[in-house]
A and B are shown apart, each in its own frame.
Chain A
Amino acid sequence: MKDLYLVYKNLTRKKLRLFLTSFAIFIAFLIFGAVTALQGALNSGVEMSADNRLVVFNKINFTQSLPYAYVNKVSGIEGVNQVTFANWFGGYYQEPANQVVTMAVDPDSYFEVYSELVVAPEQKANWLQNQAGVMVGERLAKVNNWQIGDRIPVSSNIFSNKNGGQTWDLVVEGIFTASDPQVDTGYMVFHYKYFMETQSWGGDYVGWIVLTTDDPALNEQVANAIDESFANSQAETDTSTEKAFNKAFIEQIGNIGLIIFGVVFMAFFTILVLVGNTMVLAIRERTGEIAVLKTLGFSSPRIFRMILTESCLLAFIGGLLGLGAAYLVVGALSQMMARFLPNLVLGPDIVLQALGYMLLLGLITGIAPAYQALRLNIITAFARG
């Protein structure tokens, strides 16, 4: 486009104005990029949950445990495919600030039910043989720089070791990965039996039960059957799909979606008004110049396009810089918060979405002045000037 130089010169003719408007757009897209990545991280658990996986918790709340005997009973229910169970351990490595998400699981079934996790067979075999062995998720291993064979002391704020102290010496027997990068691998699992035998309270309970159904269509029926079979017992259950559970869990933090929408909407509305106004003023100042261009033979549609190009260029300059900054911020945050927000990434879907919004912003802020210029009458423009 031959007019691009002209558009560029118009855009950059007032440096301070260019700086202020693109800075506003920059901030909006920084917020958009960071907040959308955050939302993605929070939602990734929901998105990544398997369709046919159910979780069984104590009806009182999910921190209450269930009798161990329930595991067998659940296995016997019609439509249930595989069953596993887990206990929360929590834990930290070396110092309390260095939290490591740790669960005590049934080693025989855990990776069967969580089939999206990938484990090398020989590592799994080694783990099954070592009571004190632990399987570490790839992300967690990376954060702590753990290798197979490392001996890692993990301490708990909740549980005490029968042998005194609150620390368990675990050995990294394997590092599991995931078939999809969105799947969380920021945690580790060790033997349920070993945990129950070594902790001072002991007992015959599990934290929760996880199962797969033969078919996602059976989910509701199976969930009802489970909850009914434990109705009026010492521990009633609440069975839901993993998706629904993860979603409900996130919603406890607050209606994130709404908050995020609010923040992004406010940011965009503000710049829409600000940049839109600035564009209108900028073009009004150029009334005489536009009349001259028209006199020279530049067609009205061509001038219309030039102004839209200018407003889109502005949106993309500010927007791309903002998105770039968001990328850096998200990158830094995900390093620092790998434990809490394992899936904090500004991925191509967010970039694509942002590019769409930049285009939209450019068109919306440019359309009114572009239309004014389109309709501008040479004679009245000169008479006014």
Chain B
Amino acid sequence: MSDDNLFELKAVAKRFKKGKETISIFDDLNMTIKRGDFLAIMGPSGSGKTTLLNLLGGVDQPTGGEIVFDGARIDGLSEGDLAKWRANNIGFIFQFYNLMPMLNAAKNVELPLLLTSLSSKQRQQRVDTALQLVGLADRAKHMPSEMSGGQLQRVAIARAVVSDPKLLLCDEPTGDLDRQTADEILEMLQLLNREFGKTIIMVTHDPAAARHATHTLHLDKGQFVGKDEPELQEKSA
């Protein structure tokens, strides 16, 4: 495997048991994600986009196959090790922001840093920097209930990048936003990808959102279909 590869999925399978039935979402999924990619994953509802993101983010385990991140397998890690791995490597951005309602913007952004050994002062500095990056330095003390959707998502982005992870995982990050705000968020993600070298994987319904990415993959019935980009790293047989 090349050093350029951040993620490699080999013959990944994911099945759920529903009563006596077994639902298979992925049977034999193969893909490679390179460092520095901004990958958009599109596909109809129920095609397994969120499930794939959960597998990549280490919040879910595959039923079969291998998931290799940065040269090491993450499938089969214990729950505790996965939690540590997530804290060290992944920034999460959700459709509905998922901020803690009782914490102000700065305290929300600080959350991932509580998992590090940084001192309170160092954490404060990082939080300030992250809020500056998303243009919300003046809103640090605001509560989530006092902010607009676009602002909330920017706080969420600050939270996702504050611990400087390699990879950002975004599930419909603009799904709850109007066009103009969505574009602002997408431009911010683009900036993080281009200027800060963050690898980004974004699930979206929105073709306009996908256009901000460097690559787009279409997921349907557990397989990638069609190739938007010639250099697409899809190895599905």
Contacts and interface: CB of A to CB of B under 8 A. Distances in A.
A299 interface: yes
B207 interface: no
Contacts, number: 63
Interface in A261-317: 288-289, 292-301
B83 A299 contact: yes
Interface stretch (B95-103, B129-137, B224-232): B95-103
Given A3-B114, A297-B115, A300-B79, A10 B86 contact: no
Which are the 7 A-B pairs with shortest beta-carbon distances? A297-B87, A13-B102, A297-B86, A9-B102, A292-B98, A299-B83, A378-B59
B115 A289 contact: no
A297 B79 contact: no
Contacts of A299: 79-80, 83-84
A384 interface: no
Interface in A191-236: none
B77 to A, nearest CB: 13
Contacts of A293: 111
Interface of B: 54, 57, 59-60, 79-80, 83-88, 90, 92, 94, 98, 100-103, 107, 111-112, 114-115, 159
24 contacts: A3-B114, A5-B107, A9-B102, A9-B103, A9-B107, A10-B102, A13-B101, A288-B98, A295-B92, A296-B87, A296-B92, A296-B159, A297-B85, A297-B87, A297-B88, A297-B90, A297-B112, A298-B115, A299-B83, A299-B84, A300-B79, A301-B80, A379-B54, A379-B60
Given A295-B86, A296-B87, A6 B112 contact: no
Given A6-B111, A378-B54, 8 more contacts: A6-B103, A9-B100, A289-B100, A295-B59, A299-B79, A299-B84, A378-B59, A378-B60
Most chain B C-beta atoms within 10 Å of own C-beta, residue among A3, A297, A299: A297
B57 A295 contact: yes
A307 to B, nearest CB: 15
- What does DSSP make chain A's interface, helix, strand, loop or mixed? helix
Contacts of B159: 296
Contact of B114 (A2, A288, A294): A2
A109 B83 CA distance: 78
Given A6-B103, A13-B101, A288-B98, A296 B111 contact: yes
A288 B97 CA distance: 12
Contacts of B83: 294, 297-300
B69 to A, nearest CB: 15
B138 to A, nearest CB: 22
B79 A379 contact: no
A6 B54 CA distance: 26
B59 A379 contact: yes
Contacts of B59: 294-295, 378-379
Interface residues of A, number: 22
Interface string A360-385: 00000000000000000011000000
B201 to A, nearest CB: 15
B151 to A, nearest CB: 18
Contacts of A300: 79-80, 83
A289 B84 CA distance: 18
A9 B98 CA distance: 16
B114 to A, nearest CB: 5
A63 B114 CA distance: 73
A289 B80 CA distance: 18
Contacts of A295: 57, 59, 86, 92
Most chain A C-beta atoms within 10 Å of own C-beta, residue among B60, B88, B100, B107: B100
Contacts of A289: 98, 100-101
A20 B88 CA distance: 40
Contacts of A294: 59, 83
Nearest to B79: A300
A296 B115 contact: yes
Contact of B86 (A6, A288, A296): A296
Contacts of B94: 292
Nearest to A10: B102
Contact of A297 (B54, B60, B84, B98): B84
Nearest to B92: A295
Contacts of B102: 9-10, 12-13
A292 B159 CA distance: 12
A13 B159 CA distance: 21
A296 B57 contact: no
A296 B93 CA distance: 10
Contacts of A5: 107
A100 B147 CA distance: 71
Contacts of B54: 378-379
A379 B52 CA distance: 12
Contacts of A379: 54, 59-60
Interface in A332-385: 378-379
Contacts of B57: 295
A377 to B, nearest CB: 9
A378 B169 CA distance: 15
Interface string A1-31: 0110110011011000000000000000000
